[in-house]
């Protein structure tokens, strides 16, 4: 398995379970009613619409979806274990803390 395959595997595992990193949201998303927030989190977990346009590096680290008339983005960033800098090897779990951020497209 090459590095890109491993990064994609780790990103997919984190995104679909929210285990193995930190999940963050912008203030607008955090202020949503609980049922709408639950639907948005579920949409992130179920996301499978990766293509060359939204996933040019094949790492499954970004997506967008529409929900209740709003456009959302989600993004996974790979930081070092101390969350001070970017990870120097996102394929190595011991060196990487993944952070998934969910936002309204309008908050980008």
Q: Give one DSSP letter per residue of the chain, joined into a string.
A: --HHHHHHHHHHHHHHH--SEEEEE-HHHHTS-HHHHHHHHHHHHH-----TTT-TTSS--EEEEEETTEEEEEEEEEEETTSSSB-S-TT-GGGEEEEEEEEEGGG-
Look at the chain and report how many structural domains it folds into.
1
Q: Which residues of the chain have pLDDT under 70?
A: none
pLDDT at position 99: 98
Range of the domain at 90: 3-107
Across all residues in the chain, what is the average pLDDT? 96
Structure pTM?
0.94
């Amino acid at each position: 398995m090459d590095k890109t395959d491993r990064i994609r595997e780790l990103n997919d595992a984190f995104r679909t379970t929210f285990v193995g990193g930190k999940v963050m949201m912008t203030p607008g998303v955090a202020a949503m009613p609980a049922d709408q927030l639950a639907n948005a989190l579920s949409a992130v977990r179920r996301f499978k619409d990766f293509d060359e346009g939204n996933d040019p590096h094949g790492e499954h680290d970004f997506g967008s979806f529409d929900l209740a008339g709003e456009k959302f983005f989600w993004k996974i960033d790979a930081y070092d274990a101390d969350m001070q800098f970017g990870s120097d090897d996102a394929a190595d779990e011991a060196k990487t803390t993944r952070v998934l951020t969910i936002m309204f497209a309008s908050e980008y």
